[in-house]
Amino acid sequence: MERIKILLAVSMFGMSIFSWAQQTPRVHDPVVIKENNTYHLFCTGRGISHFVSTDLKNWEKLEPVFKEKPLWTDEVVPDFKNHIWAPDIIHQNGTYYLYYSVSAFAKNTSAIGLVTNTTLDPKNENYKWEDQGIVVQSVPNRDLWNAIDPNIIFDENGIPWMSFGSFWNGLKMVKLSKDLKSVSHPEAWETIARRERSFNLDDSDPGDAALEAPFIFKKGAYYYLFLSWDMCCRGENSTYKVVVGRSESATGPFVDAAGKAVNQGGGTLLIEGNENWYGVGHNSVYTFDGKDYYFSHAYDANDNGAPKLVVKEITWNNGWPSVEPMD
């Protein structure tokens, strides 16, 4: 196992800010959940990468969720190499639900799958990941949406919804069945975010319409939709940034601080890259021990654009989230 350390700095204002040692974890698209006294981080990687920490500073890498690729994946992406993207994890009724993305790069040949477990501790005798197969799938020449980047939220009536998507005709939301394993019937869909683009739907050249990675977080009376704009995964050409909108309903419509609808191109900037970080994005947000935290990756300009873990405490100003800029 690999032990990795992150140094914690405390500002003069008392807000925790995380900075990086040389061995900062290389992660992409992190999500986090706490079981007992241990934080579990899952992210993009071969078989879904898994890290643990007891303090959000020192991280230990464990074995991946899937040692071998799920059996169904070759039907979606021929000769799939088990490089699984952008998971999301929730705990419900004594079970951990880990949703994950299987996709060809820059295509909407994609599917979101689900794997479950009753514990996240590999030392527990009940530790066993059980794959549940496909939850939703996008098919080229049929769908103008992309089935990647899942995030689960329960609305004000306790109904589960999955937000997901990238590029194409915007980010979508679909109602899930009560067992959280499939789309509900009758189906219910929403478009929660989009940016104007031509219908030349080649994601390798999206113009100014790139968006992906929705994450919805409930705070007080509002649901906050975080999403990533612009380009990831391109080294020094990465332009990733995070924007946010809010709504009193889990399904929107979400609007930014200026009142512009997020499904009409709106979004209030939360964080972006700088000369030290080519881009920062694909975030998740949680409350741990009474504090709200932002997690994402950023591309390190001093390490050939390697994706590094970002952890920041969130403060709230007039009902809107704020984080310290990148160092």
CB 156 within 8 A of CB 250: yes
H or E stretch including 73?
A: helix 73-76
Task: List, as one string, the DSSP characters of 3-60.
Answer: EEEEEEEE-TTS-EEEEE-TT--B-SS-EEEEETTEEEEEESEET-EEEEESSSSEEE
Active site includes 68?
no
CA 263 vs CA 49, 63, 144, 195: distances in Å: 32, 39, 15, 7
Task: List, as one string, the DSSP characters of 192-229.
Answer: EE-----S---TTS-TT--EEEEEEEEETTEEEEEEEE
In the block, residue with structure tokens 């809107």: 320
Closest C-alpha to 24, from 48, 46, 47, 53:
53
Active site includes 212?
yes
CB 58 within 8 A of CB 5: yes
- Pick the catalytic residue from 29, 88, 230, 256: 29
- Pick the catalytic residue from 190, 212, 272, 313: 212
Closest C-alpha to 141, from 172, 112, 108:
108
CB 279 within 8 A of CB 230: yes
Dist CA 70 CA 66 (whole Å): 7
Per the structure block, which two tokens stand in for 307?
């994706």
Catalytic machinery residues: 29, 212
